């Protein structure tokens, strides 16, 4: 089943800007990885940081490399699932992704404010925190209106700024000497490994978001396969090297808690390194929100173009081609969630996003069967069987995450119940959107020009 023609967009995202934007979509640096060390110790965390991308990220990267090079389109995975399995499943793919983004993106402006509060005490309290968080969202909104090229190039600059303190931390940690050198290596525990695995899964997910700007990428047939492999390697190196360096300091894993990178930097490098890591955290939070706003805003654009959302979402900024209304709508949605104070519910985020990932792997296999004639500059090896098996390991990890999620609560109910409600709401939302008049659907693509 073929979808309607894609919106006219402006290209300009090249290899390294795409790598940088993908890095922020999927990682944002080692921030958030502290709980993995605290749960599994240095050895367990290092093993998981090295193994998780092979089981979790690499299959996703291979899937993206094939589909993004074969069908480079605005809306990425929504377009693939819709083309493979029809508009209902395409809508559910977008619904699950946008739903998970609410619990993900709303936290980044709050994290920015929290890091700022460590530098300027009191700035994260009361109305100051809400106002600064809203300012972060407004700045990202304006930056996004400048187009995908501007986001990619800005992400590349922020990547160097954010990683520099960790490069210094790694060197300082390797040179640091402590009489307790051997005490930091503790035995592995089964429960600790499971908890750390979920943290690692969360820190390695989101590569598929890079596909949503496929229509803006220069030479996507070559750029996407290279970008996926290089980004996964860069993320893994950015995780394992600082942890490996800190393992030589004698700092006990029990000292690793969420947000402790700055404290650890202060131990091995002094106050100036602590401040640099805090500033890097602000850059990381800003860069993640900025890149992900770019990605998620392309979903309403593509859906409006297909008549699954009102045609106003297909409006673009004439000079840059950025989806004007979709960007503003997404920014308002995430801004409205600033005051809710969500904890970072790793498992809920993994489950909702993971359900959309399963649909993407299914689309990969279905398109191999239904449309074998599509030119595929990059192919997952193994033919139809290889594409069908590619999603097995990620799905097993998702099931493991689901089993582990039984004890987590949100709004007074289990994560499973809440996740089910979100999914059922997607079915109802599709029914409502299908009532959009056919005339409006037919006209929607004209507004994207």
Q: What is the pLDDT of residues 97-131, one digit of tens each?
A: 999 998 788 889 988 998 999 899 888 887 888 89
Phi, psi of 120 (to 5 degrees): -125, 90
> What does each C-alpha distance from 39 to 20, 27, 255 come to in angstroms?
29, 20, 11
Q: Structure pTM?
A: 0.90
Please check the confidence at residue 88 and state whether its pLDDT lies above 50. Answer: yes
Q: What is the DSSP string of 398-419?
A: HHHHHHHGGG-EETTEEHHHHH
Of 213, 244, 207, nearest in space to 41 by CA: 244
Counting other chains too, the contacts that 264-267 makes at CB distance below 8 Å and 24 or more residues apart are: 264/169, 265/165, 265/169, 265/172, 267/176
**DSSP annotation of 322:** -
Q: How many helices and strands, by DSSP H and E, does the chain display?
A: 18, 2
Number of other residues whose CB lies within 10 A of the CB of residue 190: 7
The helix (run of H) or strand (run of E) holding residue 59 is helix 58-70
The pLDDT assigned to 448 comes to: 39
Tally the C-alpha atoms within 13 A of residue 118's C-alpha that lie toward its C-beta: 20
Tally the C-alpha atoms within 13 A of residue 322's C-alpha that lie toward its C-beta: 24
Q: Where are the alpha helices (DSSP H) in 186-270?
A: 190-203, 220-247, 261-269
The pLDDT assigned to 376 comes to: 95
The pLDDT assigned to 133 comes to: 93
Q: How confident is the model at residue 381 (pLDDT cuts 50, 70, 90)?
A: very high
| Mean pLDDT for the stretch of residues 386-411 | 83
413-414/409-410 β-pairing: antiparallel
CA distance 94 to 80: 11
Q: What is the pLDDT of residues 291-350, one digit of tens each?
A: 999 999 999 999 999 999 999 999 999 889 999 999 999 999 999 888 665 555 667 777
**346-370 and 58-70 helices, crossing angle to 10°:** 50
Tally the C-alpha atoms within 13 A of residue 359's C-alpha that lie toward its C-beta: 28
**Percent of residues, the chain, with pLDDT higher than 90:** 64
Q: What is the pLDDT of residues 148-198, one digit of tens each?
A: 999 999 999 999 999 999 999 999 999 887 655 544 555 555 556 777 888
Please check the confidence at residue 447 and state whether its pLDDT lies above 50. Answer: no
Contact indicator for 83, 367 with CB cutoff of 8 Å? yes
């Amino acid at each position: 089943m073929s979808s309607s023609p894609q919106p006219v967009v402006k290209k300009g995202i090249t290899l390294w800007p795409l790598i940088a934007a993908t890095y922020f979509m999927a990682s944002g640096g080692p921030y958030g990885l502290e709980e993995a060390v605290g749960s599994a110790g240095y050895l367990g965390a290092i093993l998981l940081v090295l193994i998780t991308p092979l089981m979790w990220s690499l299959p996703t990267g291979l899937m993206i490399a094939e589909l993004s090079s074969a069908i480079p389109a605005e809306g990425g995975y929504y377009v693939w699932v819709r083309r493979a399995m029809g508009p209902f499943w395409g809508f559910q793919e977008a619904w699950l992704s946008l739903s998970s983004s609410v619990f993900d993106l709303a936290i980044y402006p709050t994290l920015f404010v929290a890091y700022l509060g460590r530098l300027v005490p009191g700035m994260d309290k009361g109305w100051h925190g809400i106002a600064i968080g809203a300012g972060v969202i407004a700045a990202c909104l304006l930056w996004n209106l400048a187009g995908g090229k501007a986001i990619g190039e800005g992400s590349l600059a922020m990547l160097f700024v954010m990683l520099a303190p960790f490069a210094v931390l790694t060197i300082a940690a390797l040179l640091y000497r402590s009489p307790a050198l051997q005490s930091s290596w503790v035995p592995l525990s089964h429960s600790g490994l499971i908890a750390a695995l979920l943290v690692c899964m969360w820190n390695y997910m989101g590569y598929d978001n890079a596909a949503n700007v496929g229509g803006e990428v220069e030479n996507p047939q070559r750029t996407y396969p290279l970008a996926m492999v290089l980004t996964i390697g860069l993320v893994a190196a950015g995780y394992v090297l600082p942890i490996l360096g800190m393992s030589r300091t004698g700092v006990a894993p029990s000292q690793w808690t969420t947000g402790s990178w700055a404290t650890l930097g202060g131990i091995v490098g002094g106050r100036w390194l602590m401040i640099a890591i805090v500033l890097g955290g602000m850059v990381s939070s800003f860069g993640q929100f900025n890149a992900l706003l770019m990605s998620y805003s392309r979903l309403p654009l593509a859906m409006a173009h297909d008549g699954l959302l009102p045609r106003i979402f297909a409006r673009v900024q004439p000079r840059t081609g950025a989806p004007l209304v979709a960007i503003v709508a997404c920014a308002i949605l995430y801004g409205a969630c600033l005051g809710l104070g969500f904890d970072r519910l790793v498992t809920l985020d993994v489950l909702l996003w993971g359900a959309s990932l399963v649909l993407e792997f299914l689309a990969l296999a279905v398109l191999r069967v239904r449309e074998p004639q599509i030119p595929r500059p990059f192919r997952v090896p193994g033919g139809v069987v290889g594409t069908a098996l590619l999603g097995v390991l990620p799905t097993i990890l998702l099931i493991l995450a689901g089993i582990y999620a039984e004890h987590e609560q949100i709004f007074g109910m289990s994560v499973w119940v809440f996740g089910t409600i979100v999914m059922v709401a997607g079915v109802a939302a599709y029914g409502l959107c299908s009532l959009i008049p056919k005339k409006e659907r037919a006209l929607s693509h004209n507004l994207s020009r």
